[in-house]
A and B are shown apart, each in its own frame.
Chain A
């Protein structure tokens, strides 16, 4: 079993839809949860991160962590064609290690 599981997609939605992207994980020691966006042939860029459980909102993006279920989500409201990209989740423990574990990424396509 992989430490982090993420559906690779692709996920196609119409413009304006609410998008839900998810990851599950197996290591209960993970405390930091991150979402990255990666455009084709580019390096990933950090969208937002959450420490421990709870929600965090930033504009049209909301990150949720459910540690009891070992499940994290990224919601995108009012999706735009410019949101079309691959979204990767990443996690790390609180031990101070720099070794973030990444999901495979979900390809999202927002249709105009």
Chain B
């Protein structure tokens, strides 16, 4: 299966600033990566599907201009939270489809706190 590296693991930023989160597929060429958001005691919510070389596909209710996704290579996708607000504080996780085709390999997640 894939090995997925996600950075940073934790970040604290001020309201109004932007934060970039990186997701790397270390041993697998990922044409598609996925970005999830997880609130405490809630399920993983798919935010968007990141497609290499093309625009991301966002889920309903997710603001495209706020959560910018770039998938410039087969091994790297980035999520930028723009003009962050305290309500954006959450746990963000990326994932890659497993080579077996069933299930994902997840990154270790990024805890974002906006103060």
Q: Which residues of A approach B to under 8 Å, CB–CB?
A: 4, 6, 8, 32, 34, 36, 41-46, 49, 51, 88, 90, 98-100, 102-105
Known: A43-B106, A46-B104, A98-B49. 5 other contacts (CB 8 A): A34-B102, A34-B103, A46-B105, A88-B43, A104-B41
Determine whether B98 belongs to the interface, using a CB cutoff of 8 Å to chain A: yes
Q: Which residues of B approach A to under 8 Å, CB–CB?
A: 1, 4, 6, 9, 32, 34, 41-44, 46, 49, 91, 93, 95, 97-98, 102-109, 111
* CB-based closest 3 A-B pairs: A43-B106, A46-B103, A102-B44
Cα distance A36–B43 when bound, in Å?
Answer: 12
Q: List 26 A-B contacts (CB under 8 A).
A: A4-B43, A8-B41, A32-B102, A32-B103, A34-B103, A36-B103, A41-B9, A41-B109, A42-B109, A43-B4, A43-B6, A43-B93, A43-B95, A44-B44, A46-B1, A49-B103, A51-B102, A90-B103, A98-B32, A98-B49, A99-B46, A100-B103, A102-B43, A104-B42, A105-B41, A105-B43
Cα distance A3–B105 when bound, in Å?
Answer: 22
